[in-house]
């Protein structure tokens, strides 16, 4: 990433300062004052194990103990337990490619998709497009999937799991302009970020998005004595509406178990993509992961709950 305005007061952390765990005993790689701007280089979610020429064979060979690295940690002066760290997302710059995989034994429908599958996308930030498949073009909408602070619990904790301190929350709305608020668990907060995505649907149903290495600039600001139980975030006016201009086809799932309802809505979407657009089952599952938003329509009309899967029709071009 080009330094913002070439301002030498902006701090920089390279991707070599990566970790595969959250651990409050890790030595910070940088110490900053509240209000500082920090640029962090983030490796892709495979930790560099996949490249533009990778195949499904490489997915099977992934060392899953070396995935989802986060860059950091950054120590914020005067941060103490009981405070809140505000993380303003300023800018994300992506590499020109990304990957999406179906990983065996991982994802919402893992038992039905036992075989590895891999797709390499071309990412073009200049046109704000991701060429996912021939005939399928996604909006370029970068964000960090894993972001947060060190937990209060001692020892090593996996970066793949979301917690009250942040982590792998996969909130696609944490784009440039958004501000994340995270409760501080330990002195200095120990902020880290990674798992950057070029595009993703809410729920990331196959387990991966368009995974792409990126550089991210954030502003870290302390809010003293402002207790919150779980992360919160703020979106600027118009940001959400700007991403929802397409027409949509929505499949629902209805079931007394919310997870099963989500699965049924996803299966309906996969079947619809297969039949309407002539896609393979694996392609349809991956498209659902990178483009489809799962939403809870109702969770009060017992005994059944309703989930909708929103498929943006604008992603399908004339070639499909």
Task: Please give the domain boundaries of the chain with CATH numbers for all domains.
Answer: 4-234 (2.60.120.580), 246-315 (3.10.28.20)
β partners of residue 112: none
In the prediction, which pLDDT does 243 show? Answer: 86
Claim: this prediction has a pTM higher than 0.85: yes
Q: What is the mean pLDDT of the chain?
A: 96
Q: What pLDDT is recorded for position 318? A: 66
Q: 61-75, pLDDT tens digit by residue?
A: 999 999 999 999 999
Give pLDDT, residue 9. 77
pLDDT number for residue 315: 98
Average pLDDT in the 287-311 region?
Answer: 98
Phi, psi of 85 (to 5 degrees): -100, 120
Distance CA 67, CA 263 (A): 25
Residue 7 is predicted with a pLDDT of 54
Query: What share of the chain has pLDDT > 90, as a percent?
Result: 94
Banded model confidence at residue 4, pLDDT cuts 50, 70, 90:
very low
What is the pLDDT averaged over residues 273-302?
Answer: 98
Q: Which has the closest alpha carbon to 219: 133, 316, 125, 91?
A: 91
> 128-132 contacts: CB < 8 A, separation 24 or more?
130/98, 130/198, 130/199, 130/210, 132/100, 132/199, 132/210, 132/287, 132/290, 132/291, 132/315
At residue 148, what are phi and psi to the nearest 5 degrees?
A: 165, -160
Predicted confidence (pLDDT) at residue 195 exceeds the cutoff of 60: yes
pLDDT exceeds 50 at position 12: yes
Q: How confident is the model at residue 319 (pLDDT cuts 50, 70, 90)?
A: low
The burial of 304, by beta-carbon neighbours within 10 Å (0-12 exposed, 13-18 middle, 19 or more buried), is given as middle
Query: Which percentage of the chain shows pLDDT scores above 70?
Result: 97
pLDDT at residue 19 is higher than 60: yes
| pLDDT tens-place string over residues 86-100 | 999 999 999 999 999
Reported as a pLDDT band with limits 50, 70 and 90, residue 8 is low
Residue 207, sorted as left (phi over 0), alpha (psi -120 to 50) or beta, turns out to be: left
Residue 51 token pair:
């490249």
Q: What is the pLDDT of residue 203?
A: 98
Looking at residue 14, its pLDDT comes to 97
């Amino acid at each position: 990433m080009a330094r913002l305005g070439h301002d030498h007061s902006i701090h920089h952390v390279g991707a070599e300062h990566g970790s595969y765990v959250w651990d409050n005993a890790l030595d910070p790689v940088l110490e900053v004052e509240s209000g500082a701007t920090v640029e962090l280089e983030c490796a892709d979610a495979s930790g560099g194990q996949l490249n533009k020429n990778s195949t499904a064979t490489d997915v099977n060979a992934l060392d899953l103990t070396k995935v989802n690295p986060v860059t950091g940690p950054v120590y914020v002066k005067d941060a103490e337990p009981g405070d809140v760290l505000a993380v303003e997302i300023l800018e994300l710059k992506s590499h020109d490619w990304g990957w999406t995989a179906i990983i065996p034994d991982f994802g919402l429908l893992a038992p039905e998709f036992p075989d590895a599958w891999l797709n390499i996308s071309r990412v073009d930030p200049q046109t704000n497009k991701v060429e996912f498949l021939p005939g399928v073009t996604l909006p370029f909408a970068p964000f960090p999937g894993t972001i947060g602070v060190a937990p209060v619990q001692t020892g090593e904790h996996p970066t793949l799991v979301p917690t009250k301190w942040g982590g792998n929350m996969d909130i696609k709305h944490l784009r440039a302009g958004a501000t994340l608020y995270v409760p501080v668990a330990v002195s200095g907060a120990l902020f880290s970020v990674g798992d950057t995505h070029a595009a993703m649907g809410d729920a990331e149903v196959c387990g991966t998005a368009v995974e792409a290495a990126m550089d991210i600039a954030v502003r870290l600001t302390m809010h003293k004595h402002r207790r919150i139980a779980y992360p919160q975030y703020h979106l600027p006016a118009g940001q959400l509406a700007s991403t929802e201009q397409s027409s949509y086809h929505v499949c629902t799932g209805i079931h007394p178990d919310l997870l099963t309802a989500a699965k049924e809505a996803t299966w309906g979407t996969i079947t619809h993509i297969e039949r309407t657009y002539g896609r393979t089952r694996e392609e349809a599952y991956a498209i659902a992961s990178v483009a489809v938003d799962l939403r809870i329509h109702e969770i009060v009309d017992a005994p059944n709950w309703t989930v909708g899967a929103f498929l943006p029709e604008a992603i399908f071009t004339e070639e499909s």
